[in-house]
Amino acid sequence: MASYRFFEEYDQPVTDKLKQDFSNILTGVGEDITREGIVKTPERAAKAIQFLTSGHCQDPEEILRSAMFEEGYNDMVIIKDIELYSLCEHHMLPFFGKAHIAYIPDGRIVGLSKIPRVVDVFARRLQVQERLTHDILECINNTLKPKGVAVVIEASHMCMMMRGVQKQNSVTTTSGFRGQFEKIETRNEFLKLISSDLA
């Protein structure tokens, strides 16, 4: 017997309502919802959209507070290349890419896994990249109260790639800086480190 099991739990009334909504959408675009490949799609889509927007029900500040430790380290801490997947609030199409985050502790550090979890919480909401960058930045700054925080996000947007201007290779970069990262020399050190491959 396996010693570990992962399962997802869904609110059944919400799932049933969304399932009907997705059935109506599929019918509206001309699909046969009794077709073998489609018959379970409304339920799968209902569960998928709940998962992809589950960040609305989570408290990112509590995630950080659950693993904060007193520590005298006061140099830059960088977590780079954090994969992120979100839904654009304008078309509900995905945008995806990487976040690079740094902070300079002021007597407290946070468990490293909590930073990517904060990214996931904010990404699993209907978003725009600009707000996503700001949300992550302010959450870390307000909760951890470090000497400085930096966030850079690089992402590709399916609303630009699949429809609209249909540009396949464009990447959108957003950034935010607080505290010591507002100083050009600290910011440049961070930008240099996230763009280099340290061997």
Domain at 142, CATH number: 3.30.1130.10
Known active-site residue 90: yes
Query: How confident is the model over 138-160, as pLDDT tens digits?
Result: 999 999 999 999 999 999 999 88
Q: In this structure, what CATH number is given to the domain that contains residue 46?
A: 1.10.286.10
Looking at the fold, whether 82 and 20 belong to one and the same domain comes out as: no
| Same structural domain, 30 and 79 | no
| Residue 7 pLDDT | 73
Domains held by the chain: number: 2
pLDDT tens-digit map of 76-107: 999 999 999 999 999 999 999 999 999 999 99
Whether residue 89 lies in the annotated active site: yes
Q: How far apart are CA 12 and CA 47, in angstroms?
A: 10
Q: Take residue 32 and report the two structure tokens written for it.
A: 């046969």
Which of these is catalytic: 56, 57, 62, 90?
A: 90
Asked whether residue 61 is domain-assigned, the answer is no
Give pTM, 2 decimals: 0.91
Residue 153 lies in a domain: yes
CA angle 67, 73, 78 (to 5 degrees): 70
Residue 177 lies in a domain: yes
Co-location of 169 and 137 in the same domain? yes
Residue 169 scores a pLDDT above 80: no
CA distances from 148 to 3, 141, 194 (A): 41, 7, 16
Residue 73 and residue 169 in one domain: yes
Phi/psi of residue 49, nearest 5 degrees: -70, -30
Q: Which of 31, 134, 138, 159 is catalytic?
A: 159
Q: Are residues 30 and 80 in the same domain?
A: no
Of 61, 91, 134, 189, the active-site residue reads 91
Catalytic residue (one of 50, 100, 127, 157): 157
Q: Tell me, yes or no, if 43 is annotated catalytic.
A: no
- Is the residue at 57 inside a domain? no
159 catalytically annotated: yes
Per DSSP, the three-state class of 62 is: helix
**2 domain-assigned:** no
189: Cβ–Cβ under 8 A, 6 or more apart, which residues?
76
Residue 58 known to be catalytic = no
State CA 139 to chain mean position distance. 13
Catalytic residue among 50, 129, 139, 180: 129
- Please determine, for residue 191, whether its predicted confidence score (pLDDT) is greater than 80: yes
Give pLDDT tens digits for 9-58.
888 999 999 999 999 999 999 999 999 999 999 999 999 999 999 999 99
Q: What are phi and psi of 114, to 5 degrees?
A: -75, -30
Does residue 123 lie in a domain region?
yes
Q: Are 167 and 160 in contact (CB under 8 A)?
A: yes
Which residue of the set 88, 100, 127, 180 is catalytic?
A: 88
User: How confident is the prediction for the chain on average, in pLDDT?
Assistant: 94
Cα–Cα separations (whole angstroms), residue 50 to 12, 18, 103, 119, 126: 11, 9, 31, 17, 11
Domain enclosing residue 21, as ranges: 12-52
> Minimal CA–CA distance to 176: which of 146, 145, 131?
131
Q: Give the span between the Cα atoms of 3 and 20, in whole angstroms.
A: 37
